[in-house]
Structure formats: structure tokens, C-alpha cells
């Protein structure tokens, strides 16, 4: 029936999508290729749960060409323009998109303006041919301020933060920011300051997003702070929902998650990679591996997967008696009363001391602060049934926040328990002086030149291992040869028992660096973001075992002492104090330790000559005689 003039008309309200389309038409973007690409954007299936999440800290950790950056830039454009493509509107939660009746502020943090911004980020905004998604009406670019300005007063700022340099917090402070995206590696300060930019806002998304490729080591802050919130760092499996962080929405993407890359293309690309690069470049799995590895990465990977490592048994060091001046370091090992949580708050042992074997203790100390290197102390057994054999790691302490003097004291106590074995500590580091003062009177310290049993004041400067341009390359070479011998001569044997040692070896680099004058030099060190404390202990062990094995001594441990929490009353017979003192004792099990002889103990009271130590410090008193 035809309508007549005056008939009532039924009004149908417009949907939000129609309102946005009308707005887009009014801004003259119907013929805009970038707007069309933005409006027709569809997320890859693997990211749908990630978009549906309502948490305020979001992260995409992805392999090469996994589309992580594309999705994050799309999200930044959404928050900047206030427009949501239809495909995203179906999955994006309303709580993450509240109505904002004001101009919106968005920030994208890249690594630099000279390479990262023009080559990686800018094409996703303004490229007209294939990649750009920022509508022209919102692309008013200010090159001086590095900002896009929108027609409604909103802005999108591009900020450069170099992850290799110290960040000035004042650069990141200032305006309130509704949404921040940090692309690739950045500093921890950039992350925390970004969280502070939206903390006081009572509207808007208030989100901070991060996207990066996981190739900077397992100790990188983005792995320790973000990745572990959703994934198990050892198995790399996703945690159950109830175990994930209530604030963090983290998703790992691989190349296979991107449907726009064919399986054949992935296979061809993988064929060009080294075996240790496959995990992080194709699967997106974090790695400690170096791009210029010193050790055989395939060999380390095989050891890690078998695995040859284990957590070990936890023990605490209970001090019985310590007198640093008299060189007395008596303690025993006790198991914790609480369940083993896997935290590195105690010593780990894979084997208890055995009578007649040779042991070696090595300590690489550090400041003990939250941001410092790790404190690492290794115990290695170098014989089996009294005969030489490939070294085996039997104990380790590995912790960051521990006072260096306490660690040094516990280290020599453990060395005493293991037969008063040779103790080697790195001297020329930040805590070397503290360690020297604590352990200088231990009866079996490593000395670079003097092998005297008693330490004279003028000999103190010779104590410990001094890393330099001659012994470090030699030690590393011996460590490499030792690993190769394990692989060939000993048919795949591995003496390493600690996961920390394996991961540090994977990130240890052998590089050639050039200074500003063009002079090149060889550099052996951990890759950026990784640590080499365990490698230091490992190559010092290899150096001494292979080149200075005559310094190693035999442990004498009675069966009774081995049962009573392994408290030691040991005697290093190969470095006996003197023939006169040795001749007065016939039974080795009743023979006192050297530290007891220095202190005046040892059973029957008798007259004897002062030792060289006592001539300087006085007998038993510990005071210097002037």
C-alpha cells in the first residue's frame, strides 16, 4: 500500500558501526586506502583470546613475522582514533573500550628514530601501498615533536628509548597517557614509567602493551617480569588460568600462528637457520643462546634436553665455629625444615663428600644487590675411587641477593667439609677485596705465584684468581676442549649438573669488537642481558684441573663424620704443615686439622715451635706481634 502524506513514520536507530561509518564518510576517508585496510582488518585466530582479555598489562612475545607488531600498532590506532573495526568489535570486551568524552593520548615507544622507527613502525602507520593502517584524517604529522594529531584533539606520540643506555625518567614523565605500546626490547624504567602514566586516570583503557622477540636471554627483565606470568620458564608450557597473573595478559606467537605465511615458506626459512636459532626465530620460545656462541650449542642443547641437569638436594650451612684470624671455618650441612620450593636460597648438592677423592671449590662473587650479578660458588670432584676422571659438579650456590662476606664464609666452610679442598676465588671483581679479607687465612687458598701453606702479609696480594687477557682465553679454551672430550672420548658424558651453568654457557659469546679507532679485539663474555658467573667458575675449574692439577689435594673423611651431617675433621696430607708435626701423629683419623694446629688444639698438650703465621699474628690470640 503506497504511503500518503501525513502518515506516521517509524524511526530505526543507527547502530554504533553505522555511526562510525557515517563519521568516516564525513571525514572523507571512503577512498582512503589506509582507512580501508584499517577498517577491514581481521586478527589472526591465535590472538582472539588475547583481544578478549580485560587485563591492563598485555604482551605479545613472538617469533619473526608472527604479526605481533602489526596487531599492537592496530590496537594503538584504535585507541588513538576511537574507531573499532567490525571484526575487532565482535571480540573486544566493552570494559576495555569505555566511552571517553575527551581527546585521547597514545604513546608508542621504539628504540630509535633513525632505523627502528622509519623501517619497522612508520610503514604500519603511513605506507599507502601495502602496510599502512592510519586514516589520512588522523595522520597530521609533526616531525619536530614526533607526534600525529587527530581532528578531535587526540594525539599519538612516537618516543625513542635506547635499551642499551641509561634512561632519564624525566623524559618519560609528563602527560597522562591512555594507552602505551613498547615495541621490541626496552628498559625496565620505560615499562614502569608507562604504568605510572595512566595510574590516576578514571576513564579510558589505561593499558600498557609490549611486543618483543625473545632472543635476549632468559635473565632479561621482560622474561623475568612478564613471560613467567603466563608460561613455565623450564617447559615453556602455558600455565593454568588460575596460576597466571591477574594483571598480565601474555601470549606467545610463532610463525606457524600467522596464516598469511605458508608452511613451505616457513620450512625454507628454517633451513637457513642454525639449530639453536630455530626456537626463538620460528617458535617464539625464549632462549639464552648467543648469536656468536663460544661453546658447541648443539652439544649444550642435547645436554639440556636429556636432561643431564637436575635441581639437586637443598642444604643450609650451619656454622659451628668460625675464626677468620685463626683460619677456623667449621660448619655442617643441614637440610631445610621446609619443603623444597626450587628457589635459590640455599646450597644445592648432587653428591656428598667422599673419603680419598679430590675436590675443588671456586667462587665468583658479586655485590649482592637486586640488580647485580649472581654470586656463584661451585664444588667439583676430579677423581673417582682415587683415580683421575672427568670432573663432576657436586655442589653449587647460585644467588643474587646475598652479602658477599657471608657467601665467602659459607664457601670456605663448605670447602672444609669437602676435605679442606683447594679454594679459588676471583680477586679482581667488585667484591674481591671483601672475599680476600674473609678467607685469607683459610689453609688451602689458591695463590697465583706462591704455594706456601701459611699466608704472609706480603703474599696477600697473590691470593685468588686474577682474570686477565692471558689466563681467561686459556681457561675458556681448556673448558671448550674439556666439553669436546666429554663428547668424543667419553661418549657423551657430561659433568655439569646445574641448569644455571648450562644456560650461562649457552649465552657465552666469542666476538670481535672494533673501537672508534678501528682497532679490533677478541671479547669473551655473556651476551647482552645474560650472565657469565657460572661460566667463570667453569673455565677456572678447567684451567686448574688441566694445567695445575698438582695443586689438588686428597680429602680425608671418616665414616663417622660423613654420617653426622658431614661435619669435617679433615687433613690434607699432601700439604702437611711440617714433618715434625706429622711425625707425632700415627693415626690419621685422630689427627687434627691444620686449622686446629694453628689454633693450638689437637689433643695432647705439647711444646712446639711457633709457625710462621704465629710469629706474625701471635699464638691463638689472633693479634699481630709488632
Give me the residues paired with residue 157 across strands.
107, 147
Of 279, 365, 296, 288, the residue nearest 527 (C-alpha): 288
With cut-offs at 50, 70 and 90, classify the pLDDT of residue 491. confident
Rounded Cα gap, residues 164 and 162, in angstroms: 5
Q: Residue 10 belongs to what H/E stretch? A: none
Q: What integer pLDDT is reported at residue 590 of this predicted model?
A: 46
pLDDT digits (tens, 9 = 90+) for 38-62: 999 999 999 999 999 889 999 999 9
The more confident residue out of 459 and 173 is 173
With cut-offs at 50, 70 and 90, classify the pLDDT of residue 453. very low
Q: Is residue 127's pLDDT more than 70?
A: yes
Q: Comparing 110-119, 376-385, 391-400, 443-452, which segment has the lowest mean pLDDT?
A: 443-452
Q: Comparing 173-187, 433-447, 550-564, which segment has the lowest mean pLDDT?
A: 550-564
Q: Is residue 255's pLDDT more than 90?
A: yes
Q: What integer pLDDT is reported at residue 570 of this predicted model?
A: 35
Stretch 187-192: mean pLDDT, rounded?
Answer: 92
Which residues of 222-327 form beta strands (DSSP E)? Answer: 248-253, 313-323
Rounded Cα gap, residues 572 and 453, in angstroms: 11
The more confident residue out of 30 and 568 is 30
- Look over the chain and give the mean of its residue pLDDT values, rounded to a whole number: 82
- Could you tell me which CATH number the domain at 42-287 has? 3.40.50.300
The more confident residue out of 340 and 172 is 172
Percent of the chain with pLDDT over 90: 53
Rounded Cα gap, residues 27 and 24, in angstroms: 5
CB count within 10 Å of CB 568 equals 26
With cut-offs at 50, 70 and 90, classify the pLDDT of residue 337. confident
pLDDT digits (tens, 9 = 90+) for 263-297: 999 999 999 887 667 888 899 998 766 667 889 88
Characterize the bridge pairing of strands 375-384 and 387-399: antiparallel
| Per-residue exposure over 193-230, b if at least 16 CB sit within 10 Å of its own CB, e if not | bbeebbeeeeebbbbbbbbbbbbbbbbbbbbebbbbbb
Q: Answer left, alpha or beta for residue 487, where phi above 0 means left and psi between -120 and 50 means alpha.
A: alpha
Q: What integer pLDDT is reported at residue 1 of this predicted model?
A: 52
Count Cβ atoms within 10 A of the Cβ of residue 550 and give its class: 0-12 exposed, 13-18 middle, 19 or more buried: exposed
Query: What pTM was estimated for this model as a whole?
Result: 0.58
Q: What integer pLDDT is reported at residue 585 of this predicted model?
A: 42
Of 1, 4, 92, 116, the residue nearest 41 (C-alpha): 92
Q: What integer pLDDT is reported at residue 464 of this predicted model?
A: 92
Of 321, 325, 324, 346, the residue nearest 407 (C-alpha): 346
Give me the residue spans of the domains in the chain: 42-287, 313-551, 570-617
Of 371, 381, 416, 439, the residue nearest 566 (C-alpha): 416
Rounded Cα gap, residues 61 and 251, in angstroms: 6
Backbone angles phi, psi at 404, to 5 degrees: -60, -35
CB–CB of 259/45 below 8 Å? yes
Q: Residue 541 belongs to what H/E stretch? A: helix 533-547
Stretch 166-194: mean pLDDT, rounded?
Answer: 89
Stretch 240-262: mean pLDDT, rounded?
Answer: 94
Q: Comparing 246-255, 421-430, 498-507, 586-595, which segment has the lowest mean pLDDT?
A: 586-595
Q: What integer pLDDT is reported at residue 404 of this predicted model?
A: 93
Q: Comparing 170-179, 225-234, 455-464, which segment has the lowest mean pLDDT?
A: 455-464
Q: How many residues does the chain have?
A: 626
Rg (CA), the chain: 32
Q: Is residue 620's pLDDT more than 50?
A: no
CB–CB of 222/190 below 8 Å? no
Helix (H, G, I), strand (E, B) or coil at 563: helix
Q: What integer pLDDT is reported at residue 221 of this predicted model?
A: 87
Q: Is the peptide bond before 604 cis (omega within 30 degrees of 0)?
A: no
From the candidate CATH numbers 3.30.420.240, 2.60.40.10, 3.40.50.150, 3.40.50.1370, the one assigned to the domain spanning 313-551: 3.30.420.240
pLDDT digits (tens, 9 = 90+) for 503-536: 999 889 887 776 666 677 888 888 877 889 999 9
The more confident residue out of 557 and 71 is 71
Half-sphere exposure of 408 (CA within 13 A, CB side): 27
Characterize the bridge pairing of strands 147-149 and 155-160: antiparallel
Q: Residue 394 belongs to what H/E stretch? A: strand 387-399
CB–CB of 530/374 below 8 Å? no
> Highest mean pLDDT range out of 201-205, 404-408, 426-430, 530-534?
404-408
Q: Comparing 120-124, 463-467, 494-498, which segment has the lowest mean pLDDT?
A: 463-467
Q: Comparing 154-158, 398-402, 461-465, which segment has the lowest mean pLDDT?
A: 461-465
Characterize the bridge pairing of strands 179-183 and 105-110: parallel
Backbone angles phi, psi at 362, to 5 degrees: -130, 135
pLDDT digits (tens, 9 = 90+) for 564-608: 443 333 333 333 433 443 444 444 444 555 555 555 544 444 444
Amino acid at each position: 500500500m503506497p504511503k500518503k502524506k501525513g502518515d506516521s513514520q517509524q524511526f530505526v536507530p543507527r547502530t554504533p558501526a553505522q555511526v562510525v561509518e557515517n563519521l568516516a564518510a564525513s571525514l572523507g576517508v571512503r577512498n582512503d586506502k589506509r582507512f580501508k585496510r584499517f577498517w577491514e582488518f581481521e586478527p589472526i585466530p591465535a590472538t582472539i583470546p588475547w583481544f578478549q582479555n580485560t587485563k591492563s598489562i598485555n604482551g605479545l612475545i613472538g617469533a619473526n613475522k608472527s604479526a605481533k607488531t602489526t596487531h599492537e600498532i592496530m590496537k594503538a590506532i584504535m585507541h588513538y582514533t576511537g574507531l573499532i573495526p567490525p571484526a575487532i568489535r565482535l571480540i573486544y570486551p566493552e570494559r576495555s573500550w569505555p566511552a571517553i568524552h575527551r581527546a585521547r593520548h597514545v604513546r608508542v615507544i621504539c628504540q630509535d628514530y633513525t632505523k627502528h622507527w622509519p623501517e619497522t613502525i612508520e610503514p604500519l602507520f603511513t605506507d599507502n601501498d601495502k602496510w599502512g593502517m592510519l586514516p589520512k584524517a588522523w595522520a597530521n604529522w609533526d616531525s619536530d615533536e614526533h607526534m600525529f594529531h587527530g581532528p578531535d584533539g587526540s594525539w599519538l606520540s612516537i618516543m625513542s628509548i635506547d635499551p642499551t643506555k641509561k634512561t632519564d625518567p624525566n623524559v618519560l614523565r609528563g602527560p597522562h597517557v591512555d594507552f602505551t605500546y613498547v615495541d621490541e626490547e626496552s628498559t625496565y624504567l620505560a615499562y614502569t614509567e608507562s604504568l605510572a602514566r595512566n595510574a590516576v586516570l578514571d576513564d579510558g583503557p589505561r593499558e600498557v602493551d609490549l611486543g618483543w622477540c625473545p632472543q635476549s636471554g632468559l635473565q632479561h627483565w621482560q622474561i623475568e617480569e612478564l613471560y613467567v606470568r603466563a608460561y613455565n620458564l623450564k617447559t615453556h608450557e602455558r600455565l593454568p588460568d588460575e596460576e597466571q597473573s591477574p594483571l598480565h595478559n601474555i601470549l606467545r606467537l610463532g610463525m606457524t600462528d600467522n596464516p598469511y605465511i605458508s608452511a613451505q615458506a616457513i620450512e625454507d626459512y628454517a633451513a637457513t637457520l642454525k639449530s639453536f636459532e630455530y626456537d626463538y626465530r620460528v617458535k617464539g620460545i625464549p632462549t639464552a643462546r648467543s648469536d656468536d656462541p663460544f661453546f658447541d650449542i648443539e652439544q649444550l642443547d642435547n645436554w639440556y634436553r636429556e636432561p643431564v641437569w637436575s635441581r639437586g638436594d637443598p642444604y643450609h650451612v650451619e656454622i659451628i665455629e668460625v675464626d677468620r684470624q685463626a683460619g677456623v671455618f667449621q660448619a655442617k650441612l643441614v637440610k631445610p625444615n621446609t619443603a623444597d620450593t626450587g628457589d635459590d636460597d640455599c646450597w644445592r648438592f648432587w653428591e656428598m663428600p667422599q673419603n680419598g677423592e679430590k675436590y675443588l671449590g671456586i667462587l665468583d662473587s658479586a655485590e649482592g644487590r637486586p640488580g647485580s650479578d649472581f654470586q656463584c660458588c661451585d664444588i667439583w670432584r676430579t677423581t673417582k675411587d682415587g683415580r683421575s676422571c672427568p670432573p663432576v659438579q657436586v655442589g653449587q650456590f647460585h644467588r643474587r641477593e646475598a652479602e658477599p662476606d657471608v657467601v665467602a664464609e659459607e664457601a670456605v666452610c663448605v670447602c672444609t667439609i669437602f676435605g679442606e679442598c683447594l679454594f679459588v676465588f676471583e680477586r679482581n671483581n667488585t667484591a674481591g677485596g671483601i672475599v680476600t679479607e674473609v678467607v685469607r687465612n683459610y689453609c688451602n687458598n689458591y695463590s697465583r705465584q706462591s704455594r706456601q701453606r701459611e699466608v704472609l702479609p706480603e703474599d696477600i696480594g697473590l691470593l685468588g684468581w686474577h682474570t686477565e687477557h692471558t689466563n681467561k682465553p686459556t681457561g675458556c679454551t681448556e673448558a671448550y676442549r674439556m666439553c669436546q672430550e666429554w663428547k668424543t672420548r667419553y661418549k657423551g658424558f657430561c659433568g655439569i649438573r646445574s641448569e644455571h651453568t648450562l644456560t650461562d654457557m649457552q649465552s657465552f659469546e666469542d666476538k670481535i669488537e672494533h673501537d672508534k679507532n678501528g682497532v679490533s679485539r677478541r671479547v669473551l663474555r655473556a651476551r647482552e642481558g645474560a650472565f657469565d658467573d657460572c661460566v667463570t667458575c667453569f673455565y677456572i675449574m678447567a684451567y686448574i684441573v688441566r694445567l695445575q692439577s698438582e695443586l689438588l689435594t686428597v680429602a680425608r673423611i671418616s665414616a663417622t663424620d660423613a654420617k653426622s651431617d658431614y661435619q669435617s675433621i679433615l687433613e690434607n696430607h699432601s700439604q702437611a704443615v711440617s714433618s715434625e708435626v706429622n711425625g707425632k701423629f700415627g693415626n690419621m683419623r685422630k689427627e687434627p686439622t691444620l686449622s686446629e694446629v694453628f689454633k693450638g688444639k689437637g689433643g695432647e698438650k705439647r711444646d712446639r715451635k711457633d709457625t710462621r703465621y704465629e710469629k706474625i699474628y701471635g699464638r691463638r690470640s689472633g693479634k699481630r706481634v709488632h
